Amino acid sequence: MTPVIARTRDELADVRSQVAGTLALVPTMGALHEGHRSLIRQARKSADAVAVSIFVNPLQFGPGEDFDRYPRTFPADVEMCAAEGVDLVFAPSRDVMYPDEPQVTIKSGPMGEVVEGAARPGHFDGMLTVVLKLLNLVRPDVAIFGEKDAQQLAMIRRMVADLNVPVAIAAGPTVREPDGLALSSRNRYLSADERRTALALSRALHAGADAAAEGPGAVIAAASAVLDRAKAADPPLDLDYLVLVDPSTFTATTGDGPAVLAVAGRVGATHLIDNVHLQLGKEH
């Protein structure tokens, strides 16, 4: 089935008015991969109709980041959507999403200034602004985001709760390539040597998770040992952060219970993130 492609707000409103039953939205920046496919399949099980948005949002890219070279593969993206039975693809231009320079935007607050937000100032302000715009335009009953972007997911849930946005937020598990690398549209930037170094991210998370019963200190130590070797590799990993945080607030956690071990770094010019959910403490 070929999805209807809406590029303007009027086209979107017309298609949306014809949707019978519930609608699930999978927001993306395009360059769709198997991780997106898994979210689309989850959306299909969650609602009567499925919409996918494709928009590379300039507001969430900082100076010197990869907005201009971010992969844009629209024909292939539509093919995947068609193969998965997507009903609607919303693919607006920048002028459609931001007809004027935005004067009122979402402020991510303290939660957006830590971890990934500290490494990329303003990133979450731009992300939350475009997500809220998409939710208002598409008006889905449920929106589905990947757990690979764990801080993004937590912040969207917080925004929806704080602003009383009438939508359910669901999460899809991280999908990995056979060697363990978390699927990302940016993986295509990696050379073979850079990819070998990048595998340290998922290996560090596995090492940390294996030490979860021994407490936070052991988790960080085990993960750091893997990352230290990657920092000395050729090419090296330029580590941005390794943190153990509360999954709802992304503040540091030192006690027992649920936690997220999150890591990010650059290999060459490519920024990569990954995380794993774990339970701290022997009783877990």
Q: Tell me the residue type at 241.
A: Y
The DSSP H or E segment spanning 74 is helix 74-83
Q: pLDDT tier at 1 (50, 70, 90 boundaries)? A: confident
pLDDT mean over 245-256: 91
pLDDT mean over 173-197: 95
Question: Active-site residue 36, yes or no?
Answer: yes
Tens of pLDDT, residues 217-246:
999 999 999 999 999 999 999 999 999 999
Q: pLDDT tier at 282 (50, 70, 90 boundaries)? A: low
What does 192-228 look like in DSSP terms, one character per residue? HHHHHHHHHHHHHHHHHHHTGGG-HHHHHHHHHHHHH
Has residue 112 got a pLDDT over 60?
A: yes
In this structure, are 64 and 127 located in the same domain? yes
Tens of pLDDT, residues 132-179:
999 999 999 999 999 999 999 999 999 999 999 999 999 999 999 999
Q: Is residue 148 part of a domain?
A: yes
What does 214-268 look like in DSSP terms, one character per residue? G-HHHHHHHHHHHHHHHHTSSSPEEEEEEEEE-TTT--B--SSEEEEEEEEEEET
C-beta atoms surrounding 83 within 10 Å: 11
pLDDT at 284: 43
CATH number at residue 227: 3.30.1300.10
Backbone angles phi, psi at 57, to 5 degrees: -85, 110
Q: pLDDT tier at 281 (50, 70, 90 boundaries)? A: confident
C-beta atoms surrounding 76 within 10 Å: 14
Structural contact between residues 165 and 135, judged by C-beta atoms closer than 8 angstroms: yes
In this structure, are 12 and 86 located in the same domain? yes
Q: pLDDT tier at 3 (50, 70, 90 boundaries)? A: very high
Q: pLDDT tier at 283 (50, 70, 90 boundaries)? A: low
Q: In terms of residue numbers, what domain contains 76?
A: 4-172
For 61, half-sphere exposure in the C-beta direction (CA atoms, 13 angstrom radius) is 14
Q: pLDDT tier at 194 (50, 70, 90 boundaries)? A: very high
In this structure, are 38 and 91 located in the same domain? yes
Residue that terminates a domain, selected from 142, 172, 202: 172
Q: pLDDT tier at 109 (50, 70, 90 boundaries)? A: very high
Residue that terminates a domain, selected from 118, 148, 172: 172
Q: What are the residues whose beta carbons fall under 8 Å from the beta carbon of 21, sequence distance 6 or more? A: 47, 48, 49
Cα separation, 174 vs 172, whole angstroms: 7
Residues in the annotated binding site for beta-alanine: 60
Cα separation, 91 vs 53, whole angstroms: 6
Which candidate in 36, 123, 206, 271 is catalytic? 36
Structural contact between residues 137 and 88, judged by C-beta atoms closer than 8 angstroms: no
Percent of the chain with pLDDT over 90: 94
C-beta atoms surrounding 106 within 10 Å: 21
In this structure, are 37 and 158 located in the same domain? yes
In this structure, are 167 and 197 located in the same domain? no
In this structure, are 212 and 240 located in the same domain? yes
Residues in the annotated binding site for ATP: 29-36, 146-149, 175, 183-186
Residues in the annotated binding site for (R)-pantoate: 60, 152
Domain count, the chain: 2
Q: Which residues pair with 265 in a beta bridge?
A: 239, 272
In this structure, are 232 and 194 located in the same domain? yes
Residue 202: closest CA among 252, 237, 168? 237
Q: Which two tokens stand for residue 152?
A: 């993004």
Q: pLDDT tier at 54 (50, 70, 90 boundaries)? A: very high
pLDDT at 110: 93
Residues in the annotated binding site: 29-36, 60, 146-149, 152, 175, 183-186
pLDDT at 64: 83
Q: Is residue 125 part of a domain?
A: yes
Average pLDDT, the chain: 96
Residue that terminates a domain, selected from 141, 172, 203: 172
pLDDT greater at residue 254 or residue 210: 210
Has residue 254 got a pLDDT over 90?
A: no
pLDDT greater at residue 256 or residue 42: 42
